[in-house]
Amino acid sequence: MISAYVNCFKIPELRQRILFTLGIIVLCRLACTIPVPGVDPAELARMFDAMNKGAAGGLVGMFDMFSGGALQKFAVGALGIMPYISASIVIQLMTPVIPQLEKLVREGETGRQKISQYTRYLTLVICVIQGGMLAKTMLNPSMMGFAGDYKLVLSPGIPFLLITTLLLTAGTIFMMWLGEQITERGIGNGASIIITVGIVDRMPKALQDMFNNLLIGGDLAGSSNFTLVHFVGLLVMFFACCAATVLLTQGVRKIPVKYARASMGRQGAAGQTSYMPLRVNFSGVMPLIFGSAVLMFPPLLLQGLVKLFSKSAPGVSTLIMGWAPYFSHGSTTYLVLYGSTIVLFSFFWVANQFNPVQIADDLQKHGGFIPGVRPGQPTSEFLDQSMTRITFAGSLFLVGLAILPMIVTDSFKISYSISQFFGGTSLIITVGVMLDTMRQIETYLLNHHYDGFLSKGHLRSRRGGS
């Protein structure tokens, strides 16, 4: 494997793409360190320290993770590249629903360029909305659901709102452009790599926190000290979670497909046999992002209702406050709702993106069939049933990985900055993007007659089988 990394720099084109990608990553990290003017950094740090100790620290940590740590610094890249990801998801979900978008997809490269343009426009709209909300939050931190007297803005007012919204929007648009440059002239998917680098950038801090707990003998589960045994156990758990994530990301069920024998003059061409890979985790990390976004609203809604009835109906306000712990991040009710949302959205994503009728029609047009299954409607029903069973198993596996960081946080009493690497969105994104990038690099190596990363076989594409 070491020789494979050395060989990467022996291919001029691959070396240029890797160096270009690294240069773009430096620019992205720079955007995550330049603070927005007008915000007191000391007061901001004090507020985030209080947040991390509270129940919502995991939720805030998740948003900070997607921004690459820029949110805690309130940098120009505080929104990260997530508005672009959100716009892409919206366009992708609306494509099967809106005939005009579906028509553009079938037009080839021209249609894809128009869809990319629509995605950029939608990204701009999302940036303005989220940037304005984040600027408003700096003026009134209680909007985030945390008590405390924080004076974050040095000169509050309309100018701060406008300038901050403009800077945050410009930062995201700049990072979106950098991501497109990586995709076009670098290696890997630009947007995914920017998110992954932001996640990996937090890993040294997590290791430092673990070493600090080991040195000072911090409390573990409220009954014992953090010892070397616990440290090694957490490392073993981390590698086990990585292995499980690789299995989930790469897992497919291969459906055998045979093609009818074609006649060529007096001789016939032998029929071919191939496989149709059905991915175990077809929806990727989308259910985790969707579930976290949905469960973000109940605490905010309850907080608004408490303020609304605090003076007019104190009894109702007290009753509503009693419901708040059930929706706090990491509670049992939260875990159940989070897991249920992940399963439901996994099926929703598959139903929206996987079309067994069209696949069955395409197979029939090209003379393909699944052994033991009649072409047409029976093939469509077989694919639908197979994908349903696979999605159910994959979604349960995904739920286990998603809630594991919260369980680790509650059981071992360690910060969410450490436990987020034991599963969840961060680990799934990191593993998936790294596998995809390594696969692209391996393609270059094999095309130039170099060995890949594996001594036997090669990395499997995330989109299908080997």
Contact 86, 176 (CB under 8 A): no
Residue 92 contacts by C-beta under 8 Å, 6 or more apart in sequence? 353
Locate 261 and state its tokens: 């024998």
How far apart, in whole angstroms, are the C-alpha atoms of residue 151 and residue 168? 20
Instruction: Specify the CATH superfamily of domain 1-201.
Output: SecY subunit domain (1.10.3370.10)
Q: What is the mean pLDDT of the chain?
A: 81
For helices 57-66 and 377-412, the axis angle rounded to 10 degrees is 120
- Which segments of 186-296 does DSSP mark as H helices, in order? 190-200, 203-216, 228-250, 286-294
pTM: 0.77
Tell me 452's DSSP state: -
Cα distances from 43 to residues 62, 82, 177, in angstroms, run 21, 26, 32
User: Which residue type, as a one-letter code, is found at position 222?
Assistant: G
pLDDT at position 222 is 43
Cα distances from 460 to residues 97, 281, 345, 447, in angstroms, run 31, 14, 26, 16
Contact 465, 275 (CB under 8 A): yes
Q: How far is CA 422 from the centre of its chain?
A: 15
pLDDT < 50 stretches in the chain: 54-56, 220-223, 263-264, 268, 463-466
How far apart, in whole angstroms, are the C-alpha atoms of residue 367 and residue 271? 10
Q: To which H or E segment does residue 258 belong?
A: strand 252-259
Residue 180 contacts by C-beta under 8 Å, 6 or more apart in sequence? 190
Residue 193 contacts by C-beta under 8 Å, 6 or more apart in sequence? 21, 25, 179, 182, 186, 433, 437
How far apart, in whole angstroms, are the C-alpha atoms of residue 343 and residue 392? 7
How far apart, in whole angstroms, are the C-alpha atoms of residue 39 and residue 36? 7
pLDDT at position 221 is 45
